[in-house]
Amino acid sequence: MSRLINLAGRQRMLSQRLTLFVVLAGGGRTSALSTAEEVLNQFRSSHQLLTQGGDGLPGLFSHKLRQAFDGASQARAHIEAFIDLLERTIRSLRRGEPLSEATQSALVDTSSDLLGVLTQITQTYELEARQLSKAQQAQRTRLNEEIQSVAREARVVAFNAQVSAYRAGPEGREFAVVAARMATITEEVEQLVKASMNSA
């Protein structure tokens, strides 16, 4: 989950770098154009990983994330319009066409608006991470409680088996050894569960 949060957060930084390098390229810094193309590829690739998954990432795995990208804010549409604007602008600059004032203004405005959208997406990932962590903790707690319950029942069975072995006299000696071992095992299980809960 931390990888998704980092990826979403990185999109904010990349969007600002993109705008900066395209504007610099439009101002005559030819080396900035290659950097802009490289950053655009990174931005596009990260967007695809976040929305479609791949490379071990799940894509939009929850309702809240799908809403963040495709709900009222239309984040996906904003991001893809930004990518399209940059692709067209970079192609134009590659052909040697000047960066018009209108295009520069559109880039800056779109980038500024997008920053808020990307911030909301990152916050959604952070919220989902917290919710997932709580759910996993609750699941671990339930599992540990179930194990403790089984261990308690096993301890009662082991105690009853020891009593039965004692009553059986010499014939119950071997059974008494097994019952004692079972009691030890249940005690060890309970200690492991307690250690697991404390470490969690």
**pTM of the full predicted structure?**
0.73
Which one is predicted more confidently, 193 or 102? Answer: 102
CB atoms within 10 A of CB 187: 14
Phi/psi of residue 159, each to 5°?
-65, -45
- Apex CA 82: angle with CA 79 and CA 84, to 5°? 110
CB atoms within 10 A of CB 6: 12
Cβ proximity of 69 and 121 under 8 Å: yes
pLDDT band for 200, please (50, 70, 90 cuts).
Answer: low
- DSSP secondary structure letter of residue 111: H
Q: Biggest alpha carbon distance in the chain?
A: 102
Question: Quick one: three-class SS letters along 133-161?
Answer: HHHHHHHHHHHHHHHHHHHHHHHHHHHHH
For residue 196, is pLDDT > 80?
no
Topology at the third CATH level for domain 2-137: de novo design (two linked rop proteins) (1.20.1440)
* Mean pLDDT computed over every residue of the chain: 88
pLDDT band for 126, please (50, 70, 90 cuts).
Answer: very high
Cβ proximity of 83 and 15 under 8 Å: no
Rounded Cα distance, 150 and 153, in Å: 5
**Which of 151, 152, 175, 153 is closest to 162 using CA atoms?**
175
At residue 175, the pLDDT reads 76
Where along the chain do its domains lie?
2-137, 139-199
For residue 152, is pLDDT > 90?
no
pLDDT band for 44, please (50, 70, 90 cuts).
Answer: very high
How does pLDDT run across 140-151, given as a tens digit for each residue?
Answer: 888 878 877 877
For residue 161, is pLDDT > 80?
no
Q: Which residue has the tokens 């990826």?
A: 7
